[in-house]
Amino acid sequence: MVEQLLVKDISLSFNRKKGKFLLSIADQTIEQNVCEFLSTISHLVGTDVEAHLLNTDSCYDTVRLPLTGSGKVLDLELGDFVRLREAYGNQMFMLKLEDMLLRKGIQSSKTSLD
């Protein structure tokens, strides 16, 4: 299923109880397991945004993003793609920070509540 999205609100969170990432984009919520999250972030980071910006061909106005396992492929406007890439990057940063703190024996209130 391919969907063309014009997105304003993008939200990404991790539900520890389910072990799933929850992506809210436009009016839909998509669950991803850890492997799907990592595959998506790999695709986001591997996409050359500069090539899309510099190319005047209309096929570079959107970016195709596979969301593996959910059976969906999203075609995003370039601005929405960059916002989604930032959301995934922020989520990865938070996971790495939490991991580092846990390795140092520091437990955040967020992890102790879940």
Split the chain (114 residues) into runs of 10 and give each run's mean pLDDT. 56 91 88 92 93 90 83 87 94 92 81 49
**99 conformational bin, left if phi > 0, alpha if psi -120 to 50, beta if neither:** alpha
Query: What is the rounded distance in angstroms from the CA atom of residue 23 to the CA atom of residue 37?
Result: 10
Residue 2, pLDDT score: 42
The pTM for the full model equals: 0.80
**Coil, strand, or helix at residue 64?**
strand
